[in-house]
């Protein structure tokens, strides 16, 4: 996967905007800027910056401006610990939006954020392991757990007529979580797993694993991995070897880098699942108009909605708390995300800020839907079915 010069430059911890003044508030933005999901990142950086820019253009945050401070996990556990450590201990941020990958989110939380009492809210981390972490009410996410996506994917695969499939999933928090849940749900619903292979990351060749999977048969190969690492290689080597031609992937494979590398024609019969927004959500349309007005295009890219919403909620939590007191962030976040309260949506920072300053409750409904956190900081949600459409992906169905 290519990494542009701008991405490499962004790999270091950077502060966007002007130099922070005494009354400005730094907000931690933890992202996997380099690594296996690098191609996802530019539109997500834009989404986070859009939320921050809106707050600054519509009255500011607390008594000054919001300053976005980005940290790059490099897509690795140690990188996540290092980047989170800088945000928490050097930049002294009161709350963190991120990270994106499940593994980096968990690593940052367990080693840095939880011990320091800092709330994290991830827009995309889906591992079921996050639910059960002893986090002192400091970990939140606005996408459903893979326990949920795996069950919906099983239904999706069967409804597409695939009664026998082979499965391979990457050996990390993300792959194991959704892979095992999918297999159990698919078999319980009457599907047959011809072969299931757990594979390791960062290998040059997966031909041995593919030979095992192919010999067992199946109408499709379910690949649960990142397109920028093992997932893309598995699809490409499978096609090159004439082993499978029909692929089913999850959100990690719904990456335009896969289309660029494999070609749309070779993926014409494949489909992919991914957390999405509810159908006919007017707040999604509002965000997409604002996003494209600011950046020209890209509002339809994967996880733009969730990244914007998570950043906006992070800012609202600080404003609700009325300070940068880390201990006040969890209660403030729960308050602004849930009923009761006056509804606010994407782009409505001035409205939300005034209501909060007047001592009134708000309830943020985002581009990705509503976010009513349960006791574990989890939410329910929606799963979309995506197919390749030219150089991008098109959603064809929303399932629950």
State both tokens at 149: 């996506």
Task: Specify the pLDDT at position 22.
Answer: 64
Task: Specify the pLDDT at position 75.
Answer: 96
In whole angstroms, what is the distance from residue 336 CA to residue 352 CA?
9
Cis amide linkage into residue 97, ω under 30° from 0: no
In whole angstroms, what is the distance from residue 279 CA to residue 2 CA?
33
In whole angstroms, what is the distance from residue 68 CA to residue 14 CA?
9
Task: Specify the pLDDT at position 199.
Answer: 97
387: Cβ–Cβ under 8 A, 6 or more apart, which residues?
Answer: 270, 271, 272, 393, 394, 396
In whole angstroms, what is the distance from residue 98 CA to residue 13 CA?
14
Q: Nearest to residue 93, comparing CAs of 76, 122, 77, 71?
A: 71
Task: Specify the pLDDT at position 280.
Answer: 85
Tell me, yes or no, if the pTM score tops 0.95: no
One digit per residue, the tens of pLDDT, for the chain of length 400 reads 333 333 433 444 455 544 567 699 999 999 999 999 999 999 999 999 999 999 999 999 999 999 999 999 999 999 999 999 999 999 999 999 999 999 999 999 999 999 999 999 999 999 999 999 999 999 999 999 988 999 999 999 999 999 999 999 999 999 999 999 999 999 999 999 999 999 999 999 999 999 999 999 999 999 999 999 999 999 999 999 999 999 999 999 999 999 999 999 999 999 999 999 888 899 999 999 999 999 999 999 999 999 999 999 999 999 999 999 999 999 999 999 999 999 999 999 999 999 999 999 999 999 999 999 999 999 988 999 999 999 999 999 999 7
Task: Specify the pLDDT at position 16.
Answer: 52
Cis amide linkage into residue 315, ω under 30° from 0: no
Residue pair 343/370 in contact (Cβ under 8 Å)? The answer is no
Strands 271-276 and 164-170: unpaired
Task: Specify the pLDDT at position 19.
Answer: 57
Task: Specify the pLDDT at position 380.
Answer: 87
Burial letters for 206-235: b for 16+ Cβ neighbours within 10 Å, e otherwise?
bbebbeebbeeebbbbbbbbbbbbbbbbbb
In whole angstroms, what is the distance from residue 11 CA to residue 14 CA?
8
Q: What is the 3-state secondary structure (H, E, C) of 332-367?
A: HHHHHHCCCCEEECCCCHHHHHHHHHCCCCEEEEEC
């Amino acid at each position: 996967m290519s990494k542009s010069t701008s991405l490499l430059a962004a790999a270091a911890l950077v502060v966007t905007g002007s130099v922070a003044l005494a009354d400005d508030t730094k907000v931690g933005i933890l992202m996997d800027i380099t690594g296996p999901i690098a191609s996802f990142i530019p539109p997500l950086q834009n989404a986070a910056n859009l939320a921050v820019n809106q707050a600054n253009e519509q009255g500011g945050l607390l008594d000054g401006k919001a300053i976005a401070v980005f940290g790059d996990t490099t897509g690795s556990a140690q990188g996540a610990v290092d980047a989170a450590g800088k945000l928490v201990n050097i930049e002294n941020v009161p709350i963190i939006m991120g990270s994106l990958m499940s593994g980096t989110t968990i690593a940052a939380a367990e080693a840095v954020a939880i011990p320091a009492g800092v709330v994290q809210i991830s827009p995309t981390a889906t591992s079921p392991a996050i639910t059960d972490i002893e986090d002192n009410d400091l970990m939140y996410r606005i996408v459903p757990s893979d326990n949920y996506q795996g069950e919906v994917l099983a239904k999706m695969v069967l409804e597409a007529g695939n009664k026998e499939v082979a499965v391979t999933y990457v050996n990390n928090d993300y792959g194991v979580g959704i892979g095992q849940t999918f297999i159990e749900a698919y078999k319980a619903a009457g599907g047959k797993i011809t072969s299931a292979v757990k594979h390791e990351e960062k290998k040059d060749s997966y031909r041995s694993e593919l030979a095992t999977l192919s010999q067992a048969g199946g109408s499709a190969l379910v690949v649960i991995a990142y397109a920028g690492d093992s997932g893309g290689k598995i699809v490409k080597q499978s096609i090159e070897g004439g082993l499978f031609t029909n692929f089913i992937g999850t959100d990690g494979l719904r990456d335009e880098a896969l289309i660029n590398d494999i070609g749309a024609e070779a993926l014409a019969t494949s489909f992919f699942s991914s957390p999405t927004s509810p159908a006919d959500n007017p707040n999604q349309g509002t965000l997409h108009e604002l996003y494209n007005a600011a950046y020209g295009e890209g509002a339809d890219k994967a996880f733009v909605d969730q990244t914007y919403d998570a950043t906006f909620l992070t800012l609202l939590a600080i404003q609700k708390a009325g300070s940068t007191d880390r201990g006040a962030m969890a209660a403030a976040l729960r308050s602004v995300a849930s009923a009761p309260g006056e509804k606010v949506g994407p782009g409505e920072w001035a409205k939300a800020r005034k209501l909060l300053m007047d001592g009134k409750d708000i309830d943020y409904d985002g581009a990705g839907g509503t976010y009513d956190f349960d006791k574990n900081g989890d939410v329910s949600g929606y799963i979309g079915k995506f197919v390749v459409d030219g150089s991008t992906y098109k959603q064809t169905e929303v399932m629950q």
